[in-house]
Chains A and B, each alone.
Chain A
Amino acid sequence: MMLSLAILALLSVAAPWVCRYAGPARGVVLAAFPLGIGAWFASKIPAVADGGAIVETFAWLPELGLEMTFRLDGLGLLFALLVTLIGAGVLLYAGSYMQGHHQIGRFFSYLIGFMTSMLGLVLADNLVLLFIFWELTSITSYLLIGFNHDKKESRSGALQALMVTGLGGLAMLAGLVVLAFAAGDLAGVPGGVWNMSELPEGLSGHAHYPWIVALVLAGCLTKSAQFPFHFWLPSAMAAPSPVSAYLHSSTMVKAGVYLIARLHPNLATGTAEGLWEGLLIGFGATTMFVGAYLATRQTLYKRLLAYSTVSSLGVMVMLIGMGHPDAAAAYILAHAMFKGCLFLVAGIVDHEAGEKDVAEIGKLFQAMPATGLAALLAGISMAGVPLAPLAGFVAKEKMIKAGLDAGPLTALLTALIIAAGSFTVFIAIMTGFKPFFGKAQREPKKHAHEAPWPMLAAPVILAVLGIVYALVPALFATPVVTAAGEAIKGGPFEAALRLDAFYYYEISLALGLSLLATLIGVGIYFGRGLWVKATSPFAKLDGVVGPAKMYDYAMLGLTKGSWAQTRVLQNGSLQVYIKMTLVAILGMFAWAIWRTGSLPSVGTNFERTGLLEWVLIISIAVSAIVATRLGSRLATVAVLGVIGYAVAVVFALYGGPDAAMTQFAVETLIVVIFVLVVYHLPRFAVYSGLAVRVMDLLLAATFGGVMACLVLAAGSQELFAPISAYFNEAAMPETPDGQSAYGRNLVNIILVDFRSVDTLGELVVLGIAAIGVYTLMKLRDDHEGVPVAEREGDEDQSEEGDA
């Protein structure tokens, strides 16, 4: 399994070169890999048939207890087969479809990258691993939807898909973490249970169960385009057709369904009234109906299919919620066949006849018979026409039967299923019948002709497999569906996929309802003008307050809000930044005092102060005030020098000769530099008005007062003992060969021994400043750059000496 992922990942990287050197054979070459991997998975059907599983583990981050655990069971196998085999067909198809596109290599790289992520997603057993692959599918989907990035609709569709599924994914991440820790609670593992196969029983009784369900479902329902998050899927149709067929019909959109099915045994409550089941049935049934209804109003081939896919995803979610894993698995498999086929057919019609609108075209059967036949088979399958031996019929009868067996919800669900079924029949006619056999409104834009064989292979095979599915279920359908059903149900299970007379008798009611749905669907087809007119008020409503509109409003609000916030917070004025910082700090002080309800205690033993100290203090105080008032630059420099020297004397008096010496040297240098550049500097100017200056003075004075109090308060606290005694001990060795810093000056040994990395950082700052000074001095007005190899300025040399 890990090998297959590695092969696909490498293939994704190598795809551009394959495309360059294989030429038109690129599709065949690239498709061979997933086909081989798919065959390997198919050979594992017996191994997972009766609840078995193949597990591979790789120590990922053993320090964090993270293992890459991959596990292939029935459910994983169903999806792995879809991903690899349909993927092989799509690669083959895309090899011709994308022929001549200037970025074809990149396209295949993305597409195979997606394949890798999706395969990883369905094989991962570890929740973290699952999430990573989950997000990777979102990202590759984003790249593929926006592949024709010169078109605006591609870009906005890609962004929409990423926003909706990405936000859902974030919620899901939170849900998975809560799930893992809740499971850890139950299993007695403090670090959480991270492997899905090891999740304990009884999660539905945990206190965090509602959160787990809500958050995990937020991810699953957005990913699987459930109403009201469905709108991104039709927008995603801006992608090239192979992408729509592969990601947005057969695989990626089913990731949510997959995870729901995966967690169903652990999160289900066992009754239809439970939170998990209720939400699944509610969202699923609504989506099934709304998706199918919305599809009936579309005329663009791919959008019709997209909305019908939304409906199908709703069916899958609903069936899992109703507790019919066999119906869900049978439907997933059948849907992948007929919908994948129809999407590829839509691509062929677009590619070979230049047409996208099914309302306009018809009679293409003569020009493209093989395509038409495949579309017809897929269409009949999708419609679930009674007694037609096709996958769709088998799956649909199981679905109606499930609806008839839904306890108190029977009437409602059956009605919804039949209504959605009628719409689906109509969509099937529009997509599988109309373009090839219906009346043409006009000639196709291009001279229509049959597609080349690589593009025909996948849709034809998928259509034929639909027959095999129904007629010889034992060949692949029954084993796969049984294995998947077992995994969803979490126990032994036998799937009945049969088409014998006895079975028809058993499902006669379902059969009758199915016939009814078919007739209604055909009716809508013939009266479609009337239907569109009758439903247009709802469409208008959807355009004003529909989910897609809500998304637009939200995005607009986000953008405007960000702009407004940036204008206020980052307005480019340094004064405003400083003021905001000061007000915020003052606010924090005020909040802290309010919270604690008291001011910190201050020591009041202020001893008599000597004359020297008074002189220093007064000179600093006077200079501090004078420095802000002087109009002369040179005088200000002199006053600054007074402050600096006075501070240095304070250090010297109180036991810090090193700091004092540095201060003296630096102060002298600053005065010298200032004097050197002072006549190149602008004169002091007063720009602000009086009111602003008074306000600034008040703010500055308040802050200064707070700092003065802070000094007193902080000086009187002793949170822990000073560590200077340690430096005293560690400075010199007791014995001649003892370990120590070997220094007599404690400040020195701190700088070069105990805090040497700090000092190194200081030197780096000096170096950067020196480079900056040098560059600014030497930068020529004509912007010719810096002249090379000149000695640095004197001030930079002496800096290093001080340090």
Chain B
Amino acid sequence: MTRLSLGRVLRLSLLSLGALIFLAPYLFMISTAGKAQSEIFSSSLALIPEQWSYVENFTKALSRVSMPTLLWNGVVVCALIFIVQVVVAIPCAYAMAKLKFRAARLMMVLVMLGLLVPIHATALPLYVAFDRLSVLNSYMALVAPFSISVFAIFLFLQFFRALPDDLIHAARLDGMSETGIVARVVVPNAWPAITAFAIFSVVAHWNDLFWPLVVVTNQEYATPPLGLLYFRAAEAGDDYGALMAATLIITLPLVAAFLIAQKRFVEGITMTGLKG
């Protein structure tokens, strides 16, 4: 049954060739992170280093910029953003979807408007305000503008509308308060939407360079992309070995998370991909 027809051979070769091209940057990253400077400059295409210099390059990468601090900042910022977004968006989406809420229509208009406005558009006034309040260079500054995610409200709203009303009526008859219903009935039923949003949110904010670049000038609060920028600046020459080692360290956490939970990742991106 799995006879290799000509069509299938052609298909597999095309896919494999494409895969090779897509993976090439990773292969060269891993390979170059282990090469000595002289070998890199000999510009050979060999992937396996002649002389293994992984230890040297990684030592250099770790000594220039504090990688643990960067990764820790990334984790703290992404976690804070995600938690606040969910805590703020879920009750609001619930009120709009399931309660007699007269402002629901108006809220929907605001949400749709909000979806149009990226951080790049609001960055200037927010920067001026944060500067006046002297809160630049802090986790607060990194997190606050993203505390409200209209996209989260939008996504949860779609999801909550599909929840059966009987479920909520039953909980009310049991004497549960509305906040109790949100916490103990709605949230447990909304896990697929919450996971999907978690992946969307973490990928977006782990990768974001624009806002951290605007509000952070102090290395202590640098997130991974910003830290890598500092590392590049400090690395004036073409020390690609150390540079690749640094990129490897910084890329690894999210890539590892993706490889472990790839099914969820793809589902999450598909579900949240409907943003627009």
Answer whether A and B are interacting partners. no
B interface residues, Cβ below 8 angstroms from A:
none
Binding site for B on A (CB under 8 A): none
